[in-house]
Amino acid sequence: MKTLALSRPIAALRLLALLALPCTVLAAENPPSGDAARGATIAATCQGCHGAHGEGVPATGGPRLAGQTAEYLATQLHNYSDGRRTNPIMSAIAKGLDAQKQADVAAFFAAQSAPYAARSVQPTPEQLARGRLLTRVGDESKQLQACANCHGPDGSGEPYATPYLAGQSAVYIASAIREWKTGARPSGALMGPVAQRLDDQDIAALSAYFESLGDNAH
């Protein structure tokens, strides 16, 4: 009953938004809903770099996708295809998928719960301790807030807001943070300032820490 009571004002707001926004924005605001069964066929072409069930293939740089929300995955594909996010491999692949196919393949990977890919780094105990501290507490001397504030406890993800990091490949996490630092990855209004405060040692510690959580999360 609660949802019913809530859905009316939300529907009214949506309608207002629809009337007010130009068509280009509408397309992004209302992506088609995805069909995981149709997505499975498309996902066969992603296997080489993301694994058959989205477990990720760190050696290729392909991140883990399994269990990431469909909204997050579809948004990233959309960002690649409209040029907001660029990567030599993924930009070309995403441009080959229309919005429906992007939604379908996103729905497929969101529904997967795959075993973890082999670890790509062997962290020292000091790195794990530093990664855990930055994740849970942050570092006031660098004005760096805890990653968990946005990414959920130990990077388990906040549905509809931020992707999970627990169990993500260290190679990919480090590369994403470096791209924000250099500006090569421009879509990070929130991550930009975080990345600027991380030096190479902290990037190595955080990426190794999150990867190590793969065995007990997601």
Residues found near ligand HEC in the complex (CB under 6 A) = 42, 45-46, 48-50, 60-63, 65, 73, 76-77, 87, 89-90, 93, 105, 134, 145, 147, 149-151, 162-163, 165, 173, 175-177, 187-188, 190-191, 194, 206
Closer residue to ligand HEC (CB): 120 or 162: 162
Distances (CA, A) of 203 to 52, 172, 177: 28, 11, 7
Distance CA 73, CA 99 (A): 12
Please tell me the number of Cα atoms within 13 Å of 1 on its side-chain side: 0
Buried b (16+ CB within 10 A) or exposed e, 177-195: bebbbeeebebbeebeebb
Closest approach of ligand HEC to the CB of residue 117, in Å? 13
Closer residue to ligand HEC (CB): 5 or 195: 195
Which residues face 144 on adjacent strands? 139
Closest approach of ligand HEC to the CB of residue 27, in Å? 18
In three state form, how does the secondary structure of 171-196 look? HHHHHHHHHHHHCCCCCCCCHHHHHH
**Nearest Cα to Cα of residue 186 among 100, 82, 102:** 82
Closest approach of ligand HEC to the CB of residue 86, in Å? 8
Closer residue to ligand HEC (CB): 7 or 41: 41
Residue with tokens 């397309």: 27
Closer residue to ligand HEC (CB): 18 or 153: 153
Closer residue to ligand HEC (CB): 48 or 183: 48
Which residues face 62 on adjacent strands? 57
Closest approach of ligand HEC to the CB of residue 28, in Å? 14
Closest approach of ligand HEC to the CB of residue 4, in Å? 30
The answer to whether the CB of 178 falls within 8 A of the CB of 203 is yes
Closest approach of ligand HEC to the CB of residue 141, in Å? 14
Closer residue to ligand HEC (CB): 6 or 161: 161
